[in-house]
Copies of this chain bind each other. A is one copy, B any other.
Amino acid sequence: MPDNHEPENHQPDDREPENLQLVHLLRAVTVDFGLRQAEFAARNGMHPTDVRALICLLDAARAAEPATAGLLGARLGLNSAGTTAVIDRLERLGHVARIRDEHDRRRILLRVQPAAIRLGREFFGPLIDGVLRVLDSFDPAERDTVRRFLTATHTVFASDPRP
C-alpha cells in the first residue's frame, strides 16, 4: 500500500511517526493472513478464491444466514458464471454439498461438509490457538484495548465503498 507518509513535507519531523509503524504492522499481519490462506489453498489443491468461499459459507452458517449460491457470489464479487465454477470445484473436492431449497426450488443451499471443516481446523487451529495464547497473556483491560482498536479499524475500513 503506498502509504508513504514519511516524506510528507509539512512536518519537518524526520523519524517515521510511531503510529504509522503500527499501521505497517497491521498491514503486515493482514498480509501474513493472506499468505496462510494461499498456503492452505495450495496444500489442498484449491485456489485462494475457493478458500475465501469456504470461509464465507462458514461465516454465513455461524450467522444462521441461508448460504445460497447467489449470496456467495455477491460476497466474493464474482458473477454467476464464476460462482457456479467455484461451487463446482468445491463440490468436486467434496467440501460442500448442493442442496435444493424445498421452499424455493430455484435456490441452491450450500452446506460445508464436516471433512472440510476438519481440514480447516487442522491447518488453522494451531494458528488460532497461537493468537488465543497471546490474548490469554493479556489482562482484561488490555484485551478491551485490543478489541476497541480492532473494532475502530474495522469501522474505518468497512465504511463508504464510495461511488
Could you tell me which A residues sit within 8 Å of B by CB distance?
A: 1-6, 18-20, 22-23, 25-30, 32-39, 54-55, 58, 62, 77, 112, 116-117, 119-121, 124-125, 127-128, 130-132, 134-136, 138, 142-143, 145-147, 149-154, 156-158, 161
Please give me the residue from chain B that is nearest to A95 by CB atom.
B2
Q: A30-B34, A32-B158, A58-B4 are in contact. Are A25 and B121 (CB under 8 A)?
A: no
Bound complex: CA of A6 vs CA of B61, how far in Å? 12
Please give me the residue from chain B that is nearest to A3 by CB atom.
B128
Bound complex: CA of A147 vs CA of B44, how far in Å? 34
Residues of B within 8 A of A147 (CB): 22, 25
Q: Are B117 and A4 in contact (CB under 8 A)?
A: yes
Please give me the residue from chain B that is nearest to A42 by CB atom.
B77
Residues of B within 8 A of A138 (CB): 145, 149
Q: Are B161 and A39 in contact (CB under 8 A)?
A: yes
CB distance from A61 to the nearest CB of B (A): 8
Bound complex: CA of A29 vs CA of B25, how far in Å? 13
Bound complex: CA of A27 vs CA of B149, how far in Å? 13
Most buried by B among A77, A134, A136: A134
Q: A132-B23, A149-B146 are in contact. Are A154 and B1 (CB under 8 A)?
A: no
